[in-house]
Chains A and B, each alone.
Chain A
C-alpha cells in the first residue's frame, strides 16, 4: 500500500473545510442556523465563512428551530441544497414536527414527486459539563424514523468526507457531531473519494470480541480495546458511522468471527440504539453467539453537571472491560 499524502487538521476544521468545499462547488448550497454567521457557530465550525461567502449564503436565524428547519425543508423543496445547523440535538426536539412530519414524509406522501435534499447538522453528547439540557444523545430516537438517513462522523476523515455525499443524497440526512470530538486532531488523507455513507468501518481488527461504537463512544471502545490487548484479549472495534439504515452486514460478519459483542452507546439503555443493534445481532447471528450481547450505555438519569457525576453517568472504558471480562472469564488453564 502506498502512503497517501496527508495533512494535520482538527475535526472542527475538517467540518468547516467540507462546508467550504460544498459551497464552492455548488451555489445552491447555503448554511443556516443560530449564530452561524457573525459569531462563527456555537462550536466555531463556521468561523470565517461569513466573510468568504456573505450573509446570503451564511444565514443567521432567529432562535426558533421549528421555523428555520421548516425553512430549510422549503428551500430543499425549491431546489436549493441547504445545510441547517441545530445547536444541539436537545433543541432539535423543537423542530421534531418539521423533521418527522415534513422532511421524512413528503417524498412518500407526494408519491415521489418531491425530494428533500436537506442536511441538518447537530452537536450531540456529553462530557463538557454543559448540563442536562445540552448534553443528551438522542440519536436513537431519530434513528427510529423512516425516511431519514443518520450519519455520525467519529474520525477526521469522516468529518471531512461525509458532507459531500450527504448533500448529494435526495433524502434528508442528519449529521451528528459529538461535542467532545471537535478538538480531535489528526492526519487527513487528501484523497477522500473512498468516503461512503453506507457502511460501518472496522477501526481495529480482533478475534475475541466485537466492540460496537459510534461517534463519541468510538474513543472509549478503542481505549478499552488497547487495555484488553494488554490482557491478551483481541477486540475488534466497529464504528457504526451510519445509524440509519445500519450496516448489518459488517456487524454480523464481525460477530460471526468473534462470537461475542458489546455495544457502547451514549444514549440511555432503555429503548436505545444499542438495544436495536443487540436485537439485530440476536435475529441474524443467534447461533454464532457464545455469550449474551452486552451493552454499555449512559446511566438513566439526566446527564449531571458536576464533573465526577457526569463521568460516572457516561460509558467508560472500565465498563467495557467489565463486560468483556464477564463474557470471556478467566483464561482456561494456565
Chain B
C-alpha cells in the first residue's frame, strides 16, 4: 500500500483542489503518469504520480479543497514483483513533504506563497463547450465513454481519439453512468488574479524575511556572442533562428554546473545541491503575474534544445498546462528583464533556491579595450544569492564564469 497525497507544487502552496481525476480505482499507473489536475488556487497543474501500482480508492472527490499532505488516493503494487514503495507508511504529514509524489522541492515551511502561477489557466476552455475531435466523438459513442470525464491532449486541449481510448482502458468496463456527475469546481477568474498576487506577495515576503540576500553585478561585453549568433542565424532558416536569451540561459546553466553551491536548495538549515541544473525560467503571464517553471538539465542541452524547451514552456505556461515536476524542480532561477528595457535587475530569490541570475537590456556602451575606446553591446548580469549558502567570493566567481562562457559562444 502506498498513498498519493496532495503535493506541494511550490514553496507557497497550502492547499489544493482536485479538478479532475485522470484515473479510477483499478487503473494501473506507473511513475510519472499524470493522474490528476489540481488547482492551487492560482493555476491548474497536472500532477504526476511518484510510485507505480494499481489505484485502490480515490479518497478526495473532484471539487474538494484539501491541505497539502492529505491522502488523495491509495494504491497497491501490481503483482508480487513490484516492491513496496518506500513511502508506504507515510501518514499525512503537517509538512507538505509528499512522499508519494514527484516533488523534489524540499519541505517548505508552512508559510504560504508559491511559484507565481498562470492566470491564463482559468480561461483555458472549461467554461466553454468541450472541444472534441469528430473522430474522438465517434469513438466515444462507440466505446460508451463519457466525454465530460475525459481530458484532452489535442490542439487547444481538444479531446482526441487517443484520449478517449486512454479514458476507457482499465480492467473493468467503465461505469461512468452510475457515478453522480461531479460538481463543477469553481474556477472563477475574478479572484484568481488577486490570489496570484497574494501568493507572489507571500512568497517574496518570506524570501526577503528569511534569506540574507547579497547582490553582485557584472557588465559583460556580448559583442562576440552576438556576432557569432548573427552568423549562425544566417545559416539557419527563419523559423530555426536563435534568440540572444538562449545564449544567456546556456551560459548560466553551464556555469551553474561548475558551481554547485549556486544550484540547489536551502532547507532545514543546510544547503543541498540540486540533482542537475534545472533552470527556472521566469515567464510573465498575460494579465499579470509570473511563473518560473523548470527547463530540465539545461546544462546538457544544445542551444536548439534550449530554444525549443523555452518556447514549449512559455506556450504551456500561458495555456496553464504545466506539470507538477516543472513547478517544483527548478534549482536556480534566471530572469531576463532586458525586454522591458531596464538596465539591470536586483532579483528576489525564489525559496528554497539559493540564487537568482538577472539580465538587463543589451545596450551599446563606450567600452575600453586595450587602451582604446570603442562601442560595444553590453549587458549587465546580476546575481542575488543567499549568504547562508555562499559568500560574495563564490558569487563573483559564478558571474565571471558566466562572462567567460559568453566569450566562447561556439562552445555553448
Chain A residues with CB under 8 Å of B160's CB are 290-291
Interface string of A268-305 (1 = CB under 8 A from B): 00000000000000000011111110000000000000
- Measured between alpha carbons, how far is A332 from B30 in the docked complex, in Å? 13
Number of A-B contacts (CB under 8 A): 55
Known: A290-B160, A308-B234, A316-B238. 13 other contacts (CB 8 A): A259-B133, A290-B135, A290-B161, A290-B162, A292-B155, A308-B238, A311-B238, A318-B237, A318-B239, A319-B239, A322-B239, A326-B155, A329-B153
Asked whether, in the complex, the Cβ of B158 is within 8 Å of the Cβ of A332, the reply is no
A residues less than 8 Å from B155 (CB atoms):
291-292, 326-327, 329
Contact flag A286-B153 (CB < 8 Å), given A291-B158, A311-B237: no
A286 to B237, CA, bound (A): 34
Which of chain A's residues has its CB closest to B48's CB? A333
User: Interface size (B, Cβ < 8 Å)?
Assistant: 23
Q: Of B30, B166, B238, B240, which is in contact with the most chain A CB atoms at under 10 Å from its CB? A: B238
- Measured in the bound complex, the distance between the Cα atoms of B217 and A52 in whole Å is 79
Say yes or no: B240 contacts A318, CB within 8 Å.
yes
Distance in angstroms from A156 CB to nearest chain B CB is 26
Produce 1/0 per residue, B22-38, CB < 8 A to A: 00000000101110000
Q: Which of B211-263 contact A (CB under 8 A)?
A: 234, 237-240
CA distance A311 to B238 in the complex (A): 8
Considering the complex, give the chain A residue whose CB is closest to the CB of B163. Answer: A332
Contacts of A322 in B (CB 8 A): 239
Is A312 part of the contact surface with B, judged by Cβ < 8 Å?
yes
Shortest Cβ-Cβ A-B pairs, 9 listed = A318-B239, A312-B238, A290-B135, A290-B133, A287-B134, A290-B160, A289-B134, A290-B161, A286-B134
Specify which chain B residues have a CB less than 8 angstroms from the CB of A334 in the assembled complex.
Answer: 32
Taking CB atoms and an 8 Å cut-off, the chain B residues in 117-169 that contact chain A are 133-138, 153-155, 158, 160-162, 166
User: A316 to chain B: which residues have CB within 8 Å?
Assistant: 237-239
Question: Bound state CA distance, A153 and B385, in angstroms?
Answer: 64
B134 partner residues in chain A, CB cutoff 8 A? 286-290
* Inter-chain contacts of A327 with B (CB < 8 A): 154-155
Q: How far is the CA of A334 from the CA of B32 in the complex (A)?
A: 7
B154 and A333 contact, CB distance less than 8 A: no
B interface, by DSSP: helix, strand, loop or mixed? helix
Interface residues of A in 308-333 (CB under 8 A from B): 308, 311-312, 316, 318-319, 322, 326-327, 329-330, 332-333
Please report the C-alpha to C-alpha distance between residue A291 and residue B133 in the assembled complex, in whole angstroms: 6
B154 and A290: CB pair below 8 A? yes
Give Cα A291 to B132, complex, Å: 9
**Distance in angstroms between the alpha carbons of A288 and B136 in the assembled complex:** 9
Chain B stretch 327-355: residues in CB contact (< 8 A) with chain A: none
Q: Please give the number of chain A residues whose Cβ is less than 8 angstroms from any Cβ of chain B in the complex.
A: 22
A-side interface residues toward B, CB under 8 Å?
A: 259, 286-292, 308, 311-312, 316, 318-319, 322, 326-327, 329-330, 332-334
- Is B238 in contact with A329, judged by CB distance below 8 angstroms? no
A103–chain B nearest beta-carbon distance, Å: 40
**Min CB–CB distance B388 → chain A (angstroms):** 38
- Say yes or no: A259 contacts B161, CB within 8 Å: yes
Q: Is the CB of B154 within 8 A of A329?
A: yes
Could you name 7 residue pairs across A and B whose Cβ atoms are closer than 8 Å?
Answer: A287-B135, A290-B160, A291-B160, A308-B234, A311-B238, A319-B239, A329-B154
Min CB gap A285→B, angstroms:
9
Cα distance A286–B135 when bound, in Å?
A: 8
Closest to B240 in A: A318
Residue of chain B at shortest CB distance from A294: B155
Q: Are A333 and B238 in contact (CB under 8 A)?
A: no
A332 to B48, CA, bound (A): 13
Q: In the complex, what distance in Å separates the CA atom of A316 from the CA atom of B238?
A: 9
Q: Which residues of B contact A312 (CB under 8 A)?
A: 238
Q: How far, in angstroms, from A308 to B29 measured CA to CA in the complex?
A: 49
With a cutoff of 8 Å between Cβ atoms, the chain B residues found around residue A291 in the complex are: 133, 154-155, 158, 160
State A63–B34 Cα separation when bound (angstroms): 68
Closest-by-CB residue of B relative to A334 is B32
Q: Verify A289–B162 contact, CB threshold 8 A.
A: no
Q: Are B32 and A333 in contact (CB under 8 A)?
A: yes
B138, A287: Cβ atoms under 8 Å? yes
Query: How many whole Å from B47's CB to the nearest CB in chain A?
Result: 14
Nearest-Cβ distance from residue A126 to partner chain B, whole angstroms = 15
CB of B92, distance to nearest CB on chain A (Å): 28
A259–B135 touching, CB < 8 Å: yes
How many angstroms from the CA of A251 to the CA of B160 in the assembled complex?
A: 21
CB distance from A315 to the nearest CB of B (A): 11
A120 to chain B, nearest CB (A): 34
Residues on the A chain within 8 Å of B133, using CB? 259, 289-291
The smallest beta-carbon distance between A233 and chain B, in angstroms, is 13
Q: Give CA–CA (A330, B34) in the complex, Å.
A: 13
Minimum C-beta distance from A173 to chain B (A):
35
Q: Which of B156-213 contact A (CB under 8 A)?
A: 158, 160-162, 166
Residue of B nearest to A309 (CB): B238
Which B-chain residue is minimally distant from A317 (CB atoms)?
Answer: B237
Closest-CB distance, B153 to chain A (whole angstroms): 5
Contacts of B137 in A (CB 8 A): 287
Smallest distance from the beta carbon of A18 to chain B beta carbons, Å?
A: 34
Give A327 to B153 CA distance when docked, in angstroms.
9
Measured CB to CB, the closest approach of chain B to A284, in angstroms, equals 12
Query: Nearest CB to that of A308 among chain B residues?
Result: B238
Q: How far is the CA of A308 from the CA of B137 in the complex (A)?
A: 43
B136 cross-chain contacts in A, Cβ below 8 A? 290
Give, as a whole number of angstroms, the nearest-CB distance from B235 to chain A: 11
Contact pick for B153, options A287, A318, A332, CB 8 Å: A332
| Bound Cα distance from A113 to B121, whole angstroms | 67
